[in-house]
Amino acid sequence: MSAEPLSTIYTPAMRTPTLMCLRRDHALYDPTLQAAYNATFVSSYSADQPLYFGIGNKFYESFQTFPDTQYIYGFNFAYNTTTNRELLLESVPLVCNALRGGKFAYYELGNEPDLYTAFPSYPTYVHRPIATWTEQEFVIEWLNGTRAIREALAKACPEQATDAAYKYIAPSFAEKPSGTLDPVQVFYDGLDSDHTVGQISTHG
């Protein structure tokens, strides 16, 4: 495990509702959206957190708000349908261009994915079956995602796709008692086999 614990990165941007929503794994890029974002609340899921959070092109202008600020940008890992993954990759040029000029710190793929088996109120395309959502399966899916993002990044912002620059905070687990995946085991199963984990992130 070559990554170091995340201990000091905490920027003004991380305190804004916008970035927090992204890290909730409910944000999806919507190229047809005219507004910066559109939040949809479902009372059966939560009264104060949106179940669906659409991001339009104008959203990425918000990264110019805070001067001298670096960002951790969270890609959606929960909504794993083919269409949603295509939208994620379509958003990569918008993301990386918004983070140019020294604004990029790390990426994150998924927020508390060890809870994907824990909440049956999640839509079926978020929920992973507990019998098959193992540490190894998580690692396979996570690596497939980070490799696809890197390919898209190499075309749009190649300076962010280099070995030195292309880094994630991970695994971003909630941990016990609710989490069903072991944050140590995922590293033994190869989470950092591409050497892209720059900081270890857990929420326990």
Note the pLDDT tens digit of each residue in 66-79.
Answer: 888 888 999 999 88
pLDDT digits (tens, 9 = 90+) for 33-54: 999 999 888 887 778 878 788 9
Rounded Cα distance between 178 and 202, Å, is: 13
Q: What size, in residues, is the chain?
A: 204
The predicted structure's pLDDT at residue 153: 98
pLDDT digits (tens, 9 = 90+) for 171-197: 999 887 778 899 999 999 999 999 999
Q: How far, in whole angstroms, is CA 5 from its chain's centroid? A: 18
Q: Kindly tell me if the per-residue pLDDT of 5 is higher than 70.
A: no
Rounded Cα distance between 113 and 2, Å, is: 21
The predicted structure's pLDDT at residue 138: 95
Q: What is the DSSP letter of 158?
A: G
pTM over 0.95: no
pLDDT digits (tens, 9 = 90+) for 122-168: 665 566 887 788 999 999 999 999 999 999 999 999 999 999 999 99
DSSP letters, 28-91, are EE-TT-SSSEEEE--TTT-SSS-SEEEE-GGGGGGGGSSTT--EEEEEP-S--SHHHHHHHHHH
What domains appear along the chain, each with residue ranges and CATH number? 4-202 (3.20.20.80)
pLDDT digits (tens, 9 = 90+) for 73-131: 999 998 888 888 999 999 999 999 999 998 898 999 998 898 888 766 566 556 688 77
The predicted structure's pLDDT at residue 7: 30
pLDDT digits (tens, 9 = 90+) for 7-38: 323 334 444 433 333 455 778 899 999 999 99
Structure tokens at 155: 């075309």
